[in-house]
Amino acid sequence: MSAEDEQQGSLKIALLSYRSKPHCGGQGVYLRHLSRELVDLGHSVEIFSGQPYPELDRDEIVLTKVPSLDLYDDENPFRTPRLGEFRDWIDVLEFAHMKTGGFPEPLTFSLRVLRELKKRGGAFDVVHDNQVLGYGNLGIPKLFPFVTSIHHPISQDRKIEIDAARGWRQHFGKRRWYGFVRMQGQVSARLERILTVSSSSKRDIAKDFRTAPERIHVLPLGVDTEIFHPRGATEAKPLGERVPGRIVAMASADSPLKGVDVLLRAVAKIATERDVHVIIVSKPRDDGPTVKLVKELALGERVTFVSGLSNDDLGDLMATAEIAAVPSRYEGFSLPAVEHMASGTPLVASAAGALPEVVGDAAVLVKPGDVEDLAAAIRRLHDSPAERERVGLAGYQRVQERYTWKAVAIATVEHYRAAIKAH
């Protein structure tokens, strides 16, 4: 803890997250690293989370489980619970919402956690919401000083998904699924202190959620450089050993937002004349659009999907890539982009959302959704070891200068203290 922070005293902090998947999806990653650094600064942290629960790095962090019906478990999605699993009216609401095509978790978690916090009067100095933005959140500032993080407005995901829908059934289904976005906008507009990860996200939150810009504060994310760094670097090979032709991407494969379809089409073009292979850290549905596209493009062994990796295995994989790709159609920040750069991997990224702001001149930027542009950029890097080294080193240096979790935690505490003072 800094001398100034020590003088002001440690804080009792509650962190809220409706789902906290440990290795993919920004919410779980953010929760894990921020909570660790807050504890290391001398503060006490209790996490309230629904399933999937987070992995935590310090024994001092308290995890309070706020279980849902877990209707979106990877192994059994959209399941019908047994009658004995229903505990109260919130469970009934959650199931009914899911059965009618909606996504209830932000709403139902916010109601459950508000109920829990009402029992804990005086237990916390500040409550920090991790992009729940449910109606229950509006009751929390009456109990505690309150800060919320919006990594990017889901309104952007909603627009891209609806634009990609085919036929009236898909179109209606996407609109129903993203119905919670209206709630998030209404809640956001009534909150006093919002943290977001980029100026791009700030603009989109202010516009899409009609939230006053002066209430939104930009605070970039960090990266765990103990996990994401070059392996086996030498003077001759400052970025370490790389597997020739290996391209690595981290993305939700079946979401149009992440642009995996664009990457696969680009790889199909390059693979006719160069020996390349793409590894995508994701678990696509067996009957989903990504698997169908791989078959349509006859990519076969040119594409591998991996999931469930440990942190160390993920770091090892990213450090073996000759090229990294973030082909998203929109990003509010993109932690994977920063992790690729921290690994010293030359990055090709879409000039979409906050990505140009995040990567600066330390990556090759391409037009979002443009297969030819992406293929040309990958081809240039594949053919030029000198260019790969230049871009990889630029990305590595940018991370060391700008993106560490300790700096994120210190700045976040300043916002906590401002919220406490205003409250």
Task: Give buried/exposed letters for 352-388 (b at 16+ CB in 10 A, else e).
Answer: bbbbbbbbeebbbbbebbbbebbbbbbbebbeeeeeb
pLDDT tier at 360, thresholds 50, 70, 90: very high
**Alpha helices (runs of H) in 100-209, residue ranges in sequence order:** 105-118, 155-164, 167-177, 180-188, 199-208
| Cβ neighbours, 10 Å, residue 328 | 29
Specify whether the CB–CB gap between 134 and 183 falls below 8 A.
Answer: yes
Q: Round to whole Å and give the CA distance between 217 and 209.
A: 15
pLDDT tier at 138, thresholds 50, 70, 90: very high
The CATH superfamily label for domain 3-222+404-422 reads Glycogen Phosphorylase B; (3.40.50.2000)
CA–centroid distance for 172 within its chain: 26
Q: Round to whole Å and give the CA distance between 351 and 231.
A: 28
Strand 62-65 and strand 194-196: pairing? unpaired
Given a cut of 60, is residue 1 above it in pLDDT? no
Average pLDDT over residues 83-97: 97
More confident residue, 11 or 76: 11
Average pLDDT over residues 237-266: 92
The 10s digit of each residue's pLDDT in 391-403 is: 999 999 999 989 9
The pLDDT, as a whole number, for residue 234 is: 85
Say if 3-222+404-422 and 246-402 have the same CATH topology. Answer: yes
More confident residue, 357 or 233: 357
* Residues in contact with 83: Cβ distance below 8 Å, sequence separation at least 6, in sequence order: none
Is the domain spanning 246-402 CATH 3.40.50.2000? The answer is yes
| E strand or H helix at 62 | strand 62-65
Given a cut of 60, is residue 5 above it in pLDDT? no
Cis link prior to 52 (omega < 30° from 0)?
yes
User: Can you name the residues that pair with 130 across neighbouring β-strands?
Assistant: 149
Strand 146-149 and strand 126-130: pairing? parallel
Average pLDDT over residues 163-170: 90
Q: Which of 230, 229, 169, 182 is nearest to 210 (CA)?
A: 182
CA–centroid distance for 80 within its chain: 28
DSSP sequence for 228-257: SS-SS--SS-TT----TTEEEEE--TT-GG
Q: Round to whole Å and give the CA distance between 211 and 190.
A: 8
Specify whether the CB–CB gap between 247 and 279 falls below 8 A.
Answer: yes
Domain ranges of the chain: 3-222+404-422, 246-402
pLDDT tier at 7, thresholds 50, 70, 90: low
CA–centroid distance for 28 within its chain: 8
Q: Round to whole Å and give the CA distance between 66 and 87.
A: 13
Can you tell me which residue has the tokens 């210190």?
Answer: 410
Residue percentage of the chain with pLDDT more than 90: 84
Average per-residue pLDDT in the chain? 94
The Cα-based distances of 170 to 76, 144, 156, 158 in angstroms read 22, 41, 17, 13
The 10s digit of each residue's pLDDT in 232-247 is: 888 888 889 999 999 9
The 10s digit of each residue's pLDDT in 296-355 is: 999 999 999 999 899 899 999 999 999 999 999 999 999 999 999 999 999 999 999 999
Can you read off the two tokens belonging to residue 388?
């790969």
* Residues in contact with 124: Cβ distance below 8 Å, sequence separation at least 6, in sequence order: 12, 13, 14, 46, 117, 144
Task: Give buried/exposed letters for 36-45 (b at 16+ CB in 10 A, else e).
Answer: bbbbebebbb
DSSP sequence for 360-408: TTSSEEE-TT-HHHHHHHHHHHHH-HHHHHHHHHHHHHHHHHH-BHHHH
